[in-house]
With several copies, the nearest count.
Chain A
Amino acid sequence: MSLTIDAASAADLLAREIRGEFPDERGRFGPFGGRYVPETLIPALDRLEQGIHRWLKDPEYQADLARELNTWVGRPTPLSYAPTLSARWGAEIWMKREDLAHTGAHKINSAIGQALLAKRLGAKRVVAETGAGQHGVASAAACARLGLPVTVYMGAVDIERQAPNVGRMKLMGATVKPVTSGDQTLRAAVDEALRDWVSDPSGTYYLLGSAIGPHPYPYLVRELQAIIGRESRVQMMAQAGGLPHAVFACVGGGSNAIGLFHPFIGDRDVAIRGVEAGGRGPGLGDNSATLVSGTPGVLQGAYSLLLQDAHGQIQETHSVSAGLDYPGVGPEHAFLKTVGRVDYESIGDDEALAALEELACAEGILSAIETAHAFAAAKSYAKAHPRSRILIGLSGRGDKDMPTLARTLLKGKL
């Protein structure tokens, strides 16, 4: 598990990534990934892996998925040009509109794909975790659509700050279980979902919400989210007349980012930037910038980078955005950082909120706070790279954030 990778092996690992060799048969992206779970879950993960092997490329599954994506989710989502931001920032700004996907974020791409898989695997019920509530809502919607009962675990802190999404899940028939253990945010919700799954690993399907967790989840979620990047590529060629010079996405667990990035990994002229939550500042516990300042370790099933103390205890994190407030990150991102293909940076709470407001007033699009981190980073890049062509993943809409925005940007204005 050594992480000191020299330039030659980095180049070799990247070449293998581009050839599609990761995750390898051990579920790894170079050193990262794997399957660190209680023995009870191993058979379930094996079944999932076999199911993916059997179904993911199956024409009938693909047809079902395409039908749901096109006629229920609303894909392809548009690529919007941002005239005002472009003029203001001195670059060409293009936005991939996952906010227009059904339920309001990219999460639905993976949720409906996994729910279709769960059905084929004969699952009787589904569990899911959620941070911002977007994956919970997406899971509730996908499971309602397919007639699967679903229980969603959500940290008590997140229930508070993403209240509108709790009601949405319940209206779609989901059971929402508040998690009051641990940090009461996304990490604790994943722990609880895993505990639930451990209790009934054969009858229950765990519908994981990001590109995290034990193999094969990071692979499965990437495959289901890569439609974002595939569509973007085609749309950029058609609408912008060429590939972007730089691609930006926010990174919580990393699902929207890996979905957008993956189809561009082989385009070596395309700079790729992941943007994490810088929170209140660089101090431990004040942010959730895992890739920027984390160290290797195992959390919730995978070997990746994490925010941890000297004793291997997971660090409490902070971000104004519930969906980025997570001390781990998908192993493929740890890999892409390590081999130097993707640069990761962080944006603080205040800067993200300012970017949200700028986008809202300039283009009439109210993004999720998560998403706004990517815009803030793209803005700096644009200023440093005049006339460059920039693609930003607009991962979700901000309706869910109204309680937080009422306390911050709208303070005293409502």
Chain B
Amino acid sequence: MNTSKDIGAAIAAATAAKRPAIVAFMTAGFPKRADFIATLNRIGSAADVIEIGVPFTDPMADGMTIQRASEAALHEGVTLTWILSELTAAPVKPAAPLLLMSYLNPLLRFGFERLPAAARAAGVSGFIVPDLPREEAAEFDAALKAEGLALVQMVTPVTPRDRLEALCRPAGGFVYAVTMTGTTGKVVDVPDEVLTYLDAVRAASGAPVCAGFGIRNRAQVERLAPHVDGVIVGSALVEVLERGEDPAAFLRGLHL
């Protein structure tokens, strides 16, 4: 039974194996709609948690790569309804817990009343909503909680200390620590301040902390490992899929 607790458990399992958990992001139905479940399972074979991106016309927090994938998926006719029904119907699904990463509007349109139950039925453990800050999240959070699902909170290097503490306190699943200001997909080489910031996030957070945005290679993972419980790999993985390479092989390369 999938719930927000699964996420914690999956990360804890990686921690027990003395390596940061790998949270892998894929855009649903990208590159091809027909391969959605197959790609999901392939990624699932090498990831601890999977973020499934719901495509949106206006992905304002995303860089070029994920914008491109989102656009392609929309072109393939991918919708939230379709994603949920594919997941519900899938004969085989990854053991790794699934998160839906979506901008708010497709969720609103689906309806907060119906969405948590439908998501749970599809085997989804929680949500990441980049344009839903804590102040606006109460209604959705409550609806998710009612079904035991997580709303993953993001924090950033520019989040002030007091706010950071407030955000980390009720965190569901894990705290998504954005490593930099900017959109997804840039290459960053993790300066020392970021490590300090991650330490602060971890200190403030009861839940595990995963770092995301700009993580592309093993060296970065190694540098981050002592400071986080997991890393989130997005654009780099989407580019692997774009090039038609094996996502599992790529992800396994990031296992320490």
Contact status A311-B79, CB under 8 Å: yes
B29 to chain A, nearest CB (A): 13
- Distance in Å from the Cβ of B143 to the closest Cβ of chain A? 12
Instruction: Answer yes or no: B132 CB below 8 A from chain A CBs.
Output: yes
A34 at interface (Cβ–Cβ under 8 A)?
A: yes
- In chain B, residues 36-85, which have Cβ atoms closer than 8 Å to a Cβ of chain A? 56-64, 67, 71, 74, 79-81
How distant is B84 from chain A, measured CB to nearest CB, in Å? Answer: 12
Q: Which residues of A contact B160 (CB under 8 A)?
A: 43
Q: Interface centre among B63, B103, B105, by most A CB within 10 Å?
A: B105
* A298 interface residue (CB < 8 Å to B): yes
Q: In the complex, are the beta carbons of A38 and B158 less than 8 A apart?
A: no
> Are A36 and B81 also in contact (CB < 8 A) when A297-B109, A311-B106 are?
no
Residues of B within 8 A of A194 (CB): 60
Is A311 a contact partner of B131 (Cβ separation < 8 A)? no
Asked if residues A36 and B132 are in contact (CB atoms below 8 Å), the reply is yes
Segment at the B interface, from A14-22, A195-203, A242-250, A354-362 = A195-203
A82 close to chain B: CB less than 8 A = no
Supposing A43-B159, A187-B58, A300-B60 touch, asked if A200 and B181 sit within 8 A by C-beta, the answer is yes
CB atoms of A182 and B58 under 8 A apart: yes
Q: Is the CB of B105 within 8 A of A298?
A: yes
- Contact of A35 with B by CB under 8 A: yes
Taking the nearest CB of chain B, how far is it from the CB of A256, in angstroms?
24
Q: Which residue of A lies closest to B104 (CB)?
A: A298
- Interfacial chain B residues near A39, Cβ < 8 Å: 130, 133, 154-156, 159, 167, 178
A138 adjacent to chain B (CB < 8 Å):
no
Q: How far is the CB of A24 from chain B (nearest CB, A)?
A: 13
> Across the interface, do A298 and B131 meet the contact criterion of CB distance under 8 Å?
yes
Asked, given contacts A39-B178, A43-B159, A181-B67, whether A314 binds B131 with beta carbons under 8 Å apart, the answer is no
Other 8 A-B pairs with CB < 8 A, given A38-B61, A198-B181, A311-B81? A35-B135, A36-B133, A36-B136, A39-B133, A43-B160, A182-B57, A202-B158, A314-B57
The 7 closest A-B pairs by CB, nearest first: A312-B109, A312-B106, A199-B182, A311-B79, A312-B105, A314-B57, A40-B156
Name 19 interchain pairs, CB-CB below 8 A, sorted by A.
A38-B156, A39-B154, A39-B159, A39-B178, A40-B61, A40-B158, A40-B181, A43-B163, A182-B71, A198-B60, A198-B61, A199-B183, A300-B60, A301-B131, A311-B110, A312-B105, A312-B107, A313-B74, A313-B105
Binding site for B on A (CB under 8 A): 1, 26, 34-40, 42-44, 181-182, 187, 191, 194-195, 198-202, 296-301, 306, 308, 310-314
